[in-house]
């Protein structure tokens, strides 16, 4: 992306854009991580936190 401001948005939402921070908050809530759902900026403090929220879930 040319504009860093646009990079904060996740485009794969059928034309409705969502901020990555908001997406992380929703994922944290769905994974019962209430601390990060309440303060989603914590998700982006380091790679470990980020990976805990945005990891791919494998189902059999």
Size of the chain, expressed as the number of residues it contains? 60
Q: Considering only residues 57 and 26, tell me which one the structure prediction assigns the higher pLDDT.
A: 26
C-alpha distances out from residue 16 to 13, 19, 29, 41, 49, Å: 5, 10, 20, 22, 26
pLDDT at position 25 is 93
pLDDT digits (tens, 9 = 90+) for 4-35: 566 566 666 666 777 888 889 999 999 899 99
End-to-end CA separation in angstroms for the chain: 35
- Contact (Cβ atoms closer than 8 angstroms) between residue 45 and residue 28: no
pLDDT at position 35 is 94
- Which pLDDT band holds residue 1 (cuts at 50, 70, 90)? very low
């Amino acid at each position: 992306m040319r504009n860093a401001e646009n990079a904060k948005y996740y485009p794969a939402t059928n034309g409705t854009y969502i901020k990555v921070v908001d997406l992380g908050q929703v994922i944290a809530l769905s994974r019962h991580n209430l601390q990060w759902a309440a303060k989603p900026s914590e998700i982006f403090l380091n790679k470990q936190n980020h990976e805990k929220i945005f990891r791919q879930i494998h189902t059999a």
